[in-house]
């Protein structure tokens, strides 16, 4: 991304002497809706970011300009802003203050090249950018995991989305050429080399926009909790779906609502798929890895019911074209499909995806080529 427009806009509005920070969006190769169930995920940061030019202003007022939205917001440290995008910034500041950290007002211009609503976690990138910047500017002494937790808490308490830790973790911890196998319960993680050789990662944006706070995301989480509560009556040591085996869940098929049973079974199977995918990466078996991606999508669509007609269609096209693996990515109900494919298939696949999607839905999907990149950072 070219940072010059953000920098120039800052100088125009607030003057010279600013610091520049960036945090990336993320892709999740496999392990969807497992994070808030204490399970495993396999995300990587990408080469698309939110960048912020920022400077303390010596007051207790925050002045922010969103370059992409062309909107300005000004609010006191203890005052909720009006613009919805500013709630993410307010949330970060609020969580830092609650943690006893000394934060004051600042001037800022931010923008980015992460497509909004595509499932690449623009919100986590925004949160991570600000927590990383404020930690550096005010010398707060936060470790990376603490920063990820601050971002997650901001989303929970100020935005109203009960997200897991994965998005903020990937944005802060990202490492070029590596994906991160994260245990969302213990927060232990392993960095795995991701060098698929002549393969590439391509995202197809359905252009169906979703809003997690207004979607069924929170309902799915409640259904999982409902399943755990029922299982706990017989197995008190069970704390999360992470602790449940497929056989154990089978004992409760008649006691759970049919939909709740399916939600729980998906999460349990998806956790097992992530561990298989980890082993496939270590063995350099991208064929096996791709098959697990297709299986993940099947579960998301038929068991967890968070896909949509457009995402299902693009995954079917990928399968027909011989793509190694494809699945919907993100919270669901739109956004992108993530595709792992051989370089030689790229042109044919993209052409067919665009033409067939256009014919059926009267619009073309947007295409994003992504590379696995670095996490939150200060830009010199």
**Burial status of residue 134 (CB atoms within 10 A of its CB: 0-12, 13-18, 19 or more):** buried
294-325 burial, b at 16+ Cβ within 10 Å, e below that, comes to bbbbbbbbebbbbbbebbbbbbebbeebebbb
pLDDT value of residue 214:
54
Among left, alpha and beta (phi > 0; psi -120 to 50; other), residue 4 is alpha
Q: Is 164 helix (H, G, I), strand (E, B) or coil?
A: coil
Dist. CA 148–CA 26, nearest whole Å:
13
Angle at which helices 258-282 and 217-232 cross, to 10°: 100
Alpha-carbon distances, residue 231 vs 39, 83, 259, 264, 270 (angstroms): 17, 42, 15, 11, 19
- What pLDDT tens digit does each residue of the chain (380 aa) get? 789 999 999 999 999 999 999 999 999 999 999 988 999 999 999 999 999 999 999 999 999 999 999 999 999 998 999 999 999 999 999 999 999 999 999 999 999 999 876 678 899 999 999 999 999 999 999 999 999 999 999 999 999 887 878 899 999 999 999 999 999 999 999 999 898 878 899 999 998 876 654 567 788 989 999 999 999 999 999 999 999 999 999 999 999 999 999 999 999 999 999 999 999 999 999 999 999 999 999 999 999 999 999 999 999 999 999 999 999 988 788 889 999 999 999 999 999 999 999 999 999 999 999 999 999 999 98
Catalytic residue among 167, 205, 243, 312: 167
Alpha-carbon distances, residue 150 vs 61, 111, 239, 348 (angstroms): 20, 21, 23, 43
Which of 103, 234, 112, 126 has its CA nearest to residue 172?
126
Instruction: Say if pTM beats, i.e. exceeds, 0.95.
Output: no
Dist. CA 210–CA 294, nearest whole Å:
22
Across the chain, the runs of DSSP E, i.e. the strands, are 19-28, 40-41, 43-56, 61-66, 71-76, 106-112, 178-183, 189-193, 199-205, 325-328, 336-342, 366-370, 377-379
Dist. CA 99–CA 76, nearest whole Å:
18
Any idea of the CA torsion for 155, 159, 162, 163, to the nearest 10 degrees?
Answer: -40
Contacts with 39 (C-beta within 8 Å, 6 or more apart), sequence order: 31, 184, 185, 240, 241, 242, 267, 270, 271, 274
pLDDT value of residue 278:
95
81-94 burial, b at 16+ Cβ within 10 Å, e below that, comes to beeebbbbbbbbbb
Which of 292, 319, 367 has its CA nearest to residue 30?
292
pLDDT value of residue 213:
43
Domains of the chain with bracketed CATH: 4-194+375-379 (3.30.230.10), 199-370 (3.30.70.890)
Is 47 a residue of the active site?
no
Q: Could you tell me the maximum CA-CA distance found in the chain, to the nearest angstrom?
A: 66
Element (H, E) at 267: helix 258-282
DSSP labels, 209-241: ---TTTSSHHHHHHHHHHHHHHHHTT-TT--SG
């Amino acid at each position: 991304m070219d940072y010059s427009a953000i920098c120039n806009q800052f100088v125009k509005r607030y003057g010279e002497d600013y610091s520049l920070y960036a945090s990336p969006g993320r892709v999740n190769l496999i392990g969807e809706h497992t994070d808030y169930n204490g399970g495993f995920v396999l995300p990587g940061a990408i080469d698309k970011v939110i960048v912020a030019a920022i400077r303390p202003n010596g007051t207790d007022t925050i002045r922010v300009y969103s370059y992409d939205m062309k909107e300005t917001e000004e609010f006191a440290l203890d005052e909720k802003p009006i613009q919805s995008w500013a709630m993410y910034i307010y949330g970060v500041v609020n969580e830092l203050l609650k943690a006893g950290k000394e934060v004051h007002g600042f001037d800022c211009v931010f923008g980015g090249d992460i497509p909004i609503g595509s499932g690449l976690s623009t919100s986590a990138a925004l949160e991570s950018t600000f927590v990383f910047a404020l930690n550096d500017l005010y010398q707060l002494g936060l470790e990376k995991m603490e920063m990820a937790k601050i971002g997650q808490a901001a989303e929970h308490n100020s935005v109203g989305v009960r997200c897991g830790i994965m998005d903020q973790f990937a944005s802060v911890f990202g490492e070029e050429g590596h994906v991160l196998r994260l245990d969302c319960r213990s927060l232990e993680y392993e960095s795995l080399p991701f060098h698929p050789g002549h393969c590439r990662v391509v995202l197809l944006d359905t252009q169906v926009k979703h809003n997690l706070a207004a979607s069924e995301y929170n309902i799915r989480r409640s259904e999982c909790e409902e399943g755990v509560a029922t299982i706990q009556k017989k197995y008190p040591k069970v704390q999360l779906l992470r602790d449940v085996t497929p056989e154990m869940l089978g004992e409760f098929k008649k006691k759970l609502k049919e939909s709740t049973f399916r939600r729980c079974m998906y999460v349990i199977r998806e956790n097992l798929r992530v561990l298989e995918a980890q082993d496939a990466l270590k063995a350099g078996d991208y064929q096996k890895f791709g098959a697990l991606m297709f299986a993940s999508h099947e579960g998301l669509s038929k068991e967890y019911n968070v896909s949509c007609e457009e995402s299902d269609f693009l995954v079917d096209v990928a399968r027909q074209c011989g793509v190694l693996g494809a699945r919907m990515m993100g919270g669901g109900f739109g956004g992108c499909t993530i595709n792992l494919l051989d370089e030689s298939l790229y042109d044919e696949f993209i052409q067919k995806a665009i033409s067939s999607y256009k014919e059926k839905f009267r619009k073309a999907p947007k295409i994003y080529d992504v590379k696995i990149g670095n996490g939150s950072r200060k830009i010199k």
